[in-house]
Amino acid sequence: MGKKLGVGLLIVAGLAAGGVWTYRRYEATKPKTLFPGEAATVVAPHDESEPAGGGPAGKPESASPGGIKGASSGAGGFQPRTGETLDFIANVPKLNSAVANLRVKVGERRNVEGKDAWHLQAFAHTENPYRMVFELDDEFDSYSEYLNLASLKYEMHLNERGQKVDTVERLTSSSREPAPANEVAARVLPGTRDPIGMLMYLRSVDWSNTREVKSPVFDGHKLYDVRAVLVGKSQSVTVAAGKYTATKIEIHVMDNGTEMKDAHFLLYLADGAERLPVLMEAVLPVATARVELVKAR
């Protein structure tokens, strides 16, 4: 289905759908570029001196804690609910069948390096008969700060076509902060979220008073700039879980300063206190991919 579909669905849904749509592999200890436009940022498991020029290059476009433009920041009364489990099905209508099943879970709160954090999880499994072509069983673990859902640690446990890759990345805005043993230190912009934390963050936004939010998002390999824009209210949406009235949000993904032009991403959040993500869509030149809610509990 292509890399751009994978990146978009992963960021939009936080559901590990990037793995479903051919998640990009990488070597955990290999030097990587994390900041859009920066060419020499190294991700390493050991402490190192601050490079010439100081800390991370660039700053989030908004100085507010939530990256909210045109409105005051804040969670709008929403917080993830411990024990919440959301089941989704991913399908491509042209294929007339389900491609993968996806699950997002909210675990208990934990202490991560002295900070109060949510343990969020996402699981992805391809469905038959597509397992014969691309067998996938992936797990993603996010440890996101309690108040702003900024990512502290992101784990990827990938099992695709029989090849397993396990990576644990500690996100930090300073190269002077070493990662614990068996983890990789990923130097990112302050306030960066991982895909699962980004999904929860978008649920936390008070869209009745906000038209746009921005956030850097680290997908385990690269840092993207993500802009979410309110495009509709009281939208009627029918998915496997039922009929909902929802808020429609358009997702713009910037890769190295350039927006992905050949893909269009939409997120629908149901009205109500839980703000359930009932539908995610990736509209491509050749097809539309849908990730729709099957059950919430």
Estimate to the nearest angstrom the gap between the alpha carbon of 297 and the chain centroid: 21
How many CA atoms does the CB half-sphere of 243 hold within 13 Å? 2
Distance CA 58, CA 256 (A): 12
pTM: 0.77
Give the residue with greater pLDDT, 252 vs 183: 252
Contact 37, 256 (CB under 8 A): yes
Question: Residues 83-105: pLDDT tens digits?
Answer: 999 999 988 777 777 888 999 99
Q: What is the mean pLDDT of the chain?
A: 76
Q: Which helix (H) or strand (E) holds 10?
A: helix 3-13
Give 111's strand partners.
116
> Greater confidence, 110 or 27?
110
Cβ neighbours for 260, distance < 8 A, ≥ 6 positions apart: 4, 7, 8, 252, 253, 254
- 19-62 residue pLDDT tens: 333 333 333 333 343 444 333 333 333 333 333 333 333 333 33
